Amino acid sequence: MPLTATAEQADVRAMTREAREVARELIEDLGDALKTALAESGPDGAITVCRDTAPALANALSLRTGWKVSRVSLKTRNALIGQPDAWEQVILQRFDEEAKGGADAGKMIAAEIVNEPDADYFRFMKALPVKPLCLTCHGGDQTIPASVRQTLAREYPNDKATGYFAGQIRGAVTIKRKLDPDP
């Protein structure tokens, strides 16, 4: 029997609560790792955290929860990971517009059930606003130290993830869960 609108809405609310917690955990763990790396190794250490630790944290959460957890952006640093799919692009663009309109980027989320060709999925995104600390690697030329620019050019020759200002949307945590078909 298909879910009624009310049951489906309750299901989305419950999954949204779970997804918020998973996103919060990723954001906190990544923030802690970045702060530690910056204190111990400076900005070059932070680059390593975003390159290696962030995907590992997302993968660990995916394995633990059974949900696909990752980060996406319209301006990727590594084109091999972080490319948004069509739904994620729409949401990221909406987040950008809302931020330009003065909305609090730190509170932006999207959650819905999406029909895809192979199945229905619960989709969730939590915006990642640019914080002042992020500008060391994601700001403009005036905020990125020369040594960091050199490292980024070497590690990411096709880097598009610079030129941000504090408060803009850097990207989002994205979470995807395949829904069981109706019995």
Q: Which residues neighbour 105 within 8 Å (Cβ) at sequence distance 6 or greater? A: 95, 98, 99, 127, 129, 167, 168, 169
pLDDT, greater one: 42 or 183: 42
- Domain span at residue 29? 5-178
Confidence (pTM)? 0.90
Residue 97 is assigned to a structural domain of this protein: yes
Query: Rounded to an integer, what distance in angstroms lies between the CA atom of residue 70 and that of residue 131?
Result: 19
* Tens digits of residue pLDDT in 98-131: 999 999 999 999 999 999 999 999 999 999 999 9
Q: How many domains does the chain have?
A: 1
Q: What is the pLDDT of residue 2?
A: 46
**17 vs 10, 20, 69, 95, 110, CA distance in Å?**
11, 5, 15, 19, 12
Q: What is the mean pLDDT of residues 124-142?
A: 94
* Tens digits of residue pLDDT in 14-69: 999 999 999 999 999 999 999 999 999 988 888 999 899 999 999 999 999 999 99
Average pLDDT, the chain: 91
Q: What percent of the chain has pLDDT over 90?
A: 81
Residue 183 is assigned to a structural domain of this protein: no
